[in-house]
Amino acid sequence: MHKGFATLLLFGPALVAGALCCSPTHARTPDTQAFAQVERGRYLVTAADCAACHTRPDGGAPFAGGRSIETPFGNVVSANITPDRESGIGAWTDDDFDNAVRKGIRPDGSRLYPAMPYTSYTKMTREDVKAMHAYLSSIAPVHNVVHSDTLPFPFSIRSGMQVWDWLFFKSGTFQPDHTKSAAWNRGAYLVQGPGHCSACHTPKNFAGADKSGEFLEGANLQAWFAPDITNDNRRGLGHWSVAQIVKYLKTGHNAISGATGPMSEEIAVASSHMSDNDLQAIATYLKSIPGRNDRDKPVAKDDPQMKAGSAIYRDQCSACHGLDGKGVANLFPSLANSSQARSDDPSTLLRVILRGARSAATDAEPTGPGMPSFAWQLNDDEIAAVATYIRNAWGSTAPAVSADTVENSRKSLAKRTE
């Protein structure tokens, strides 16, 4: 006998969750309200990029945790958030889940580390967080015991997070600005809340908390530099249109740039699956954030570094990126218009030159073009020269890159396995 039919015979009208009948003879309409909540939660879990941290990249079960996440204080390991009752969150109530997500407090009263960005998720509504819990409760449970306490002493003392929260954490749901449009407010909610863009793109202080007054102005993490995403003309999105931001978040590429590193994963897992209306709202909000818009003195064209860099660029880079630096739209990034290349911190530019990179591959644009490593071909002085040229050619300005900076970057990357 088919197992599902046997279950129906045994339990009949007692079937509740997902039941299609409430008596042996009368059909029951599925609970569309519950389905809508789960679907809403699925969308929010995707927008919040939960899978990226809570799924091991080596083939781990979705949301079963166990991924090691690098922080300046050591590595933490993500928790199992499947509905397994022993190793996951299957025994958690809505209040338990809300306290963890929006307040950073686990059911046993211990504190979470802000590697789980409750400092951003606090801005989400309780209804949205409840919907996320409903979705996570609907997925397949996976028994996977995770030991998250891997930070060295004294950071391993979770009680110390009470002091951290008192100093740096401000709890509170996002409050709309009624002088702004609905799209602006939706974008602000997504960027500040579930999108937790500040976690990567805002500089951190000595304790790992966001620096006040430098919201979304770029930050170094995991040997990458998450760029300034304010409307700054040199470092940020000042020369990007709303449509270009939307295309980048949807496909991983646009006429200016291609996503690499952690942003490539975020786009593949999260933003590429978001609605066009939400991406438009995010772009609208980001374009409203004023940048510093100060201008560095350009490195002179007759500077020896610029002369050497121009020759190296012509020989090694122009075949893909063009003599005019404009690249090929949606394939090879435009270095002439790259705010990432002109960031105050050249970490990402140097990493891509030294290690090469593979850009995002999405359903809309599955190619995922790559760039080879030039570490074997160019020495530190040559890489410094071509980086300085890229940052100051085509009317751009940015501080020169020294050979010492390249040397330090090369040594740092040699120690990394990813």
Read off the pLDDT of residues 370-417 as tens digits, 9 standing for 90 and up.
889 999 999 999 999 999 999 999 888 889 999 999 999 999 888 887
7 and 85 inside one domain: no
Tokens 């919907």 correspond to: 131
pLDDT of residue 314 exceeding 80, the answer is yes
pLDDT in tens, 58-117: 889 999 998 988 888 888 889 999 999 999 999 999 999 999 999 999 999 999 988 899
Domain region containing 13 = 3-30
Across the range 179-183, mean pLDDT stands at: 97
156 and 16, same domain (yes or no): no
Question: Is 291's pLDDT higher than 50?
Answer: yes
Is the same domain home to 19 and 42?
no
pLDDT for the residue numbered 202: 96
- Same-domain status, 390 and 270: yes
Structure tokens at 415: 């120690």
Same domain flag for 51 and 17: no
What's the average model confidence in pLDDT over 183-189?
A: 98
Strands 224-226, 357-358: pairing is unpaired
| Residues 64, 55: Cα–Cα separation, whole Å | 6
d(CA 377, CA 382): 9
Question: In terms of domains, do 50 and 139 share one?
Answer: yes
What's the CATH code of the domain at 402? 1.10.760.10
Count of structural domains within the chain: 3
Q: Select from 140, 168, 196 the last residue of a domain.
A: 168
With 60 as the cut, is the pLDDT of residue 197 above it?
yes
Q: Please answer whether residues 282 and 249 qualify as being in contact, where contact means their C-beta atoms are separated by less than 8 angstroms.
A: yes
The encoded tokens of residue 389 equal 């040229």
pLDDT band at 263 (very low <50, low <70, confident <90, very high): very high
- Given 149, 168, 187, which residue is the final one in a domain? 168
Q: What is the pLDDT of residue 17?
A: 40
- Is residue 210 situated within a structural domain? no
Q: What Å distances lie between residue 314 and 14, 121, 158, 262, 283, CA to CA? A: 74, 47, 54, 29, 35
Q: What DSSP letter does each residue of 317-369 carry, written as one string?
A: IHHHH-TTS--BTTTB--STT-TTTT-SS-HHHHHHHHH-EE----SSS----
Same domain, 128 and 273: no
Residue 178 covered by a domain: no
Q: Decide if pLDDT at 327 tops 90.
A: no
In a domain, 192, yes or no: no
| Domain membership flag for residue 74 | yes
Same domain for 316 and 370? Answer: yes
Q: What is the pLDDT of residues 137-177, one digit of tens each?
A: 999 999 999 887 776 666 667 777 888 899 999 999 999 99
Domain membership of residue 201 (yes or no) is: no
